[in-house]
Every structure is written in C-alpha cells, then in structure tokens.
Chain A
Amino acid sequence: MIVTRRTLIASAALGAGGLLAGCDRLTENAGFRKILFAADEMNRHAQRLLTDRDALAREFTAENLSPVFRGNGTQYPAGPDYQAHAAAGFASWSLAVNGLVLRPASFSMAQIRSMPRRSQITRHDCVEGWSAIGKWTGVPLKRILDHVVLSDRARYLVFHCADDSGGGVTYYESIDLVDAFHPQTLLAWALNDALLPIRNGAPLRLRVERHLGYKHAKYVRRIEAVASLSGIGAGKGGFWEDRAGYEWYAGI
C-alpha cells in the first residue's frame, strides 16, 4: 500500500474524529460513566485516608487579599421574600437547624453575630479555575452543632438556601461530619470586615475551606442533619451534583 501524505492526513483526521466521537459516546454510556464517577469516591477516600483530616487550609495575610472579591453563581436572589429581607437589612432573617438533631433550633442574625466568632483569610477556588482571597468572619459551625446536638444517626449536613438557581429549585449543598466539625468551617456573615455583600451570600453563607466554591452554600436558610443524601434532590447531595454531574467531594 502506498501511503501518500493526503491519505495519511485524511486517515489521521478520520481516526481523531472517530476517537473523539467515541469519547463522547463513552461519556453518555451508563457503564462507563459509572467507572468515571468512581474516581470521585477514590479521591475522597484517598484524601481522607492519606492526609490529616483536621489539616487547616492555608491562612494568608492582609497583603494577599484580592483587590475585589467577585461574586459568582447567583448575584442577587430573585423573589419578593429575599428582597424584603434585604431591604430590612436581614433584621428578621433566621437560620433553622433541624433534622436528625436532639434540640432543633432557630437563630436570628443578631444571635449568630453575637456568638463566638472566627476570622480567617483564605483562598476561594472556583471549579472553573479562578481563585480569590478574602477575609471571612463568622461563627464556627461546630458551635451551632454543639447547641443543637446531632443524633447518632446524622451523617451529613444539608444546607438549604434562599436562591432559586434555575427551574424553581433553590440551591442546596451538603457536607459530611469531618468537614462540619473542622475548625475553619464557618457560617460567615462578614467579608473583608464588612457585612457580607449580597453577591457573596448575605446574610449568611457556608465556608468549608478545603472544598471548591460550589460547596460554599450562600443565602443559607436552613441546615438539616440527615443520615443519607438519597432523599435530597436527586440524591447526589447538591444542586450542581444533581444537575450537571459535578463531584460531591469537591476537595479536588
């Protein structure tokens, strides 16, 4: 067989096109998807097994602060309810904590702001690839959990949010108890020494510093302790996990 440059290029293009179409078909194939999605569990197990579960995310100094901390996702939650709260300076906003807890409770913003606080200058990493550094102030989530006391059956915390991120479904995310009790996990109400701007999740957002941005639920209204994520949304543990197939374990 005589290989000319033309046939070589044509067959290379055909081969590449075929491979690419093959990859797209594999992406849609249920069995292959299962293998691809298994890496999520592998990443979680590997990180949890091989690294210190209580390791702290790096805390930076004021010189490292991003000049502007951009907002992402919802910039201003729609709906009259949130807008009324915003107009009133979130004076009557409350955080409910329930589910598998011994003492369900509701906290006003005034109560939350008067609880012991922690400030930390940390890096926020979006799944898209950008990073921003900001100073967060809020109540360590552990303080809230110590107050409501988790049931022995509780394995995850689900954060229910006020922002409708599309199709009438409000945002939700979940974390496990390793992250819930981590000392840097906060319900933050201030960014860079000012009350949290609306684009960054006012009046209350989650900071779970060893995870990508989509884990850091904004506009938090309710925290629910659950034994399993199967009853939440489509069962994958979060809005983007259910909608688009993002990893539940966002430490990587």
Chain B
Amino acid sequence: MVTTAQEATITAPPRRVFRHRLATRLWHWTNVIALFTLLMSGLMIFNAHPRLYWGQYGANLETPWLEIGSTETAGFLKIGTRRWDTSGVLGRWQDGDGNIQRRAFPGWATIPSTYNLAMGRRWHLSFAWVFAFGLLFFMLRSLWNGHFRRDLTLRREEIRPRAVWQDIKDHLRLKFHHGGESAARFNVLQKFSYIGVLFGLLPTMILTGLTMSPGMDAAWPWLLDLFGGRQSARSIHFIAAALLVGFILVHLLLVVLAGPVNEIRSMITGWFVLPREKGT
C-alpha cells in the first residue's frame, strides 16, 4: 500500500533548473557546425603540405618536427625521430572506390573529401568568420549577463588541492552529480577545462590562424614575435586543434556517461532535470 506522502514524491514532476542561457545554447550549436567544418577543412589544408616546422621558415628541404607521409607500401607518422606505421589511416589509405590514396589525412576526415586545397581554404576561411564572431558575441554576452562571473570564477575553497583531488576522484568514479542544486553548477574540473578552452585554446586558434596570413603579419608584426614565426604559428595551430579535438572527445564521453538525454535537452531548451537524491 502506498501512502499519500510516497505518492506525492512519485508523481511530483521532476525538479528542473535553468542551466544554459540562450547565448550559451546558440553559441554551443554554432560551434558544433563551425568547429566541425574548420577541423575537417583544416585537415584538407594540412594535406597540401603535411609537414610542420618550428621557426620563421620551413619548406621541403628543412627537417620537419612532424610529418605524415608514405613509402611504396605503407603510410607513416613521424614525430621527431620516432616513426609509426599508420597504413590505412594516415599517409596511405583506401578511398571509397577502393583506390589507394597517398594523402596525409583520409577522405572521411577532410572537407572536401577528395583533395582540393582551394575549396578546403574556402570552407576554412568562411567558417573562421562564423567561429570568430560567435566567440566574440559569446564573450561579450557572457561578460554582460554575468555567466563568466557566476559560473566560471574559481572560488577559493574549490581550488584547494584536497577539493581538486576529491573532484578528480569523483570523475574517476563517474560520480558527476552530487544531488540537488549542485548539479546546476560546474565542478572545478569543468571550470578548469572551460577556462582553458575559452581563454586559452580558442584565442590561440584565432591568433595562430591570423599569423599564417602574410597580410596580417605586415599589419600586426607582433603576431610573429608572439609565436616565434609563421611556421611555429602553423605548428601551434595544429597542436591547439588536436587539443580541441581531445576536449571535444572527453566532452562527448562525459555527456554520454552523465545522461545524454538530459544533458543534450538542457543544451537545447536550457532546462536540466535534477537527479533524484539517493536514499529518498
């Protein structure tokens, strides 16, 4: 037999919190499109010269620190003096028609899917505008509506080593929600990664991208000094892109582990359903 009190708990609508404001949601989905196209068209551009250098200059006769290439029979990735066989994925792979291709990144990872540097650049340099203006809009809006101050400011008690260690342990145990209202707030690892991406990686992508423009280098020569040369900027652009891909993969994994329906819904409607407290 069910008591009235119990019945009330069962039938009461789940408690919801408003977690993501409109600016955040719009920016999030704009970035899904912009970063997806920027990454894949960027890999196409990389395919035109799949070697990375440090310094002001670097071309075929210089030694790259990273290279994706192929031999007669295999594809390889070379970083420094280390070399890995990457046949089938990098350097030497089969396209959809079963033909062997010797480009660095495979067709399924690039826009367009067949080699076309001119169109890769068109995609990249168009969506760079979407990405840059999106970031600018989100930054201004988040300063204005208090998102940064309210949600991203690190509080003294949460950056104590013991508190950070506790959060790391919670993540490793896949314990993301501590019940109740705390589910509506970022934990400290989330804050660290969002701060790093927002104020570190994303501006680095834009500035290193600009440093590859000969016109911008003339207008803003400090760009060359900031990154140590155009080829260094190209390398950093690639490394930062790889770190962003890592961030996105972890982000997606955590969304799946934390409850994908609730998480994705909250990024569409803004509303997040609070998990039931255990033991009630």
Contact = CB atoms under 8 A, between A and B. Distances in A.
B98 interface: no
Interface stretch (A57-65, A87-95, A154-162, A168-176): A57-65
A182 B119 CA distance: 29
Nearest to A3: B260
Contacts of A70: 59-61
A32 B255 CA distance: 33
A127 B121 contact: yes
Interface string A222-251: 000000000000000000100011110011
A66 B59 contact: yes
Contacts of B125: 39-40, 43, 247, 252
A50 B118 CA distance: 25
Interface residues of B, number: 45
Interface in A48-79: 50-52, 55-58, 60, 64, 66-68, 70
Interface stretch (A19-27, A96-104, A108-116, A135-143): A19-27
A contact residues, range? 35 or more
B40 interface: yes
A128 B215 contact: no
Contact of B40 (A23, A35, A42, A133): A23
Given A27-B119, A131-B59, A211 B215 contact: yes
B50 to A, nearest CB: 9
B48 A210 contact: no
Contacts of A64: 56-57
Nearest to B123: A36
A86 B45 CA distance: 35
Interface in B52-80: 56-62
B234 A133 contact: no
A11 interface: no
A123 B57 contact: yes
Q: Is the interface of B mostly helix, strand, loop or mixed?
A: helix
A37 interface: yes
Interface in A179-219: 209-212
B57 A252 contact: no
Contact of B112 (A27, A131, A209): A27
A198 B95 CA distance: 38
A95 B48 CA distance: 34
Contacts of B148: none
B126 A39 contact: yes
A33 B48 CA distance: 21
Nearest to B225: A58
A129 interface: yes
A151 interface: no
Contacts of A17: 108
Contacts of B212: 125
B276 interface: no
20 contacts: A23-B111, A27-B116, A35-B126, A40-B122, A42-B129, A51-B215, A57-B214, A60-B56, A66-B62, A125-B212, A130-B51, A130-B60, A209-B218, A210-B214, A211-B215, A240-B118, A245-B119, A246-B121, A251-B216, A252-B214
Interface of A: 16-17, 19-21, 23-24, 27, 33, 35-40, 42-43, 47, 50-52, 55-58, 60, 64, 66-68, 70, 123, 125-133, 209-212, 240, 244-247, 250-252
